[in-house]
Amino acid sequence: MKNTNALNSATYILAESSRLVREDFRRRAQHMNLTQPQWRTLLILSRAPGINQACLASHLEVSPVTVTQSVDRLVKAGLVLRERPENDRRSLNLFLTDDAQPLLAELNIIAEQTREAVLAGFNAAERKQLELMLLRVKQNLSDSAVAMDTALQAVSEEKLA
């Protein structure tokens, strides 16, 4: 028997809504012949040019090996450029090429279509209120992650002492 309280909780609704937003975007973008990690990579690189592969892996919530394979395909397609910074020869920074711009423009149109579908029926004030509440949720989770990392670090240091 399903626990309807759990299925109606804000966290469940938020997680399920997030999944549905990604699914809506995926359906709208399927004609572009890009995998979800590839179009997510392009969007992330448009917002954070020059990030390294480790940071990209964290954003995508995948392993660095998975990112390397996905980026390899995007480099081969001429959409992404890897550059080694002079101050860190081990790192690789990622940038979009000019060839990626038309795809990125289309991805941004699709993102706007998805946004409009998600927020259909909300007036401007409701949209702003929802955005502010979601930013608070995000901040709560960020604060919680920092607190947990700090606590884990303290436990690790105690074990070493």
- The pTM for the full model equals 0.73
- Is residue 158 domain-shared with residue 109, that is, in the same domain? no
Per-residue pLDDT of the chain (161 residues; tens, 9 = 90+): 455 566 679 899 999 999 999 999 999 999 998 888 888 899 999 999 999 998 999 989 888 888 999 999 999 999 999 998 888 777 889 999 999 999 999 999 999 999 999 999 999 999 999 999 999 998 988 888 777 777 667 666 666 66
Which residue segment(s) compose the domain that 137 sits in? 122-161
- Is residue 62 domain-shared with residue 44, that is, in the same domain? yes
- Is residue 113 domain-shared with residue 159, that is, in the same domain? no
- Is residue 73 domain-shared with residue 34, that is, in the same domain? yes
Nearest to 110 by CA among 3, 32, 38: 32
Distance of CA 7 to CAs 4, 21, 50, 100, 141, Å?
Answer: 5, 18, 40, 40, 20
- Is residue 88 domain-shared with residue 158, that is, in the same domain? no
Distance of CA 26 to CAs 37, 41, 42, Å?
Answer: 10, 14, 14
